Structure 1
Amino acid sequence: MSDDIERKLGAQPEADLTDPDNPEWTEEDFARAEGPEALSAAELAAFPRTRNKGGRPRSANPKRQVTLRLSQSVLNHFKATGAGWQARIEDVLKAEIERSGKH
């Protein structure tokens, strides 16, 4: 950046980024904060993804993340089918397990 540009930028006043409608939390605000366990049943129903322990609900059959190398043609084929393409790959693999009778 040239010295002229740096000088002009340095001469500009500091932007005021405070928002009176959304003030920054203080230590006291954090101390008073309550978790989702303090919500009523109606509030929890209105926000079904709110949980006491955060994250996704535990599955009876949890999945594991792995690294899998697939050819570009396989990826292109499944991605072309739209959202949920990864689940469709799993469905094909499960069908192969069933077909082989080795489960």
Structure 2
Amino acid sequence: MKKISEKPASKLEKELVALEAMRDEDIDLSDAPEETDWSAAERGKFYRPVKEQVTLRLDADVLHWFKQSGKGYQTRINAALRRFVEADDRNAR
């Protein structure tokens, strides 16, 4: 009867097993010092809200006003609507 041999672990798997076996204080973190000054951090820099495609009827003059600034008019309309929503007292609850 043939013996089933296990697939040899990859180099990364071996390193992970060895790292897991180490005590926290024995791990060398000198190349990645702990960050303690967060004063320059930007909140929400990589946040991207979920977008939903809709059909919306706008007055022609309003749409023209947003389009006259060029590409990105839909983003500008969204930003204007967001400012309105954030300024609305009813949403401050």
TM band (smaller chain): 0.3 to 0.5
| TM-score of the aligned structures, taking structure 2 as reference length | 0.44
| TM-score of the aligned structures, taking structure 1 as reference length | 0.40
Determine which structure has greater relative contact order: mean sequence separation of CA pairs < 8 Å that are 6+ residues apart, divided by chain length.
Answer: 1
**Larger Rg computed on CA atoms:** 2
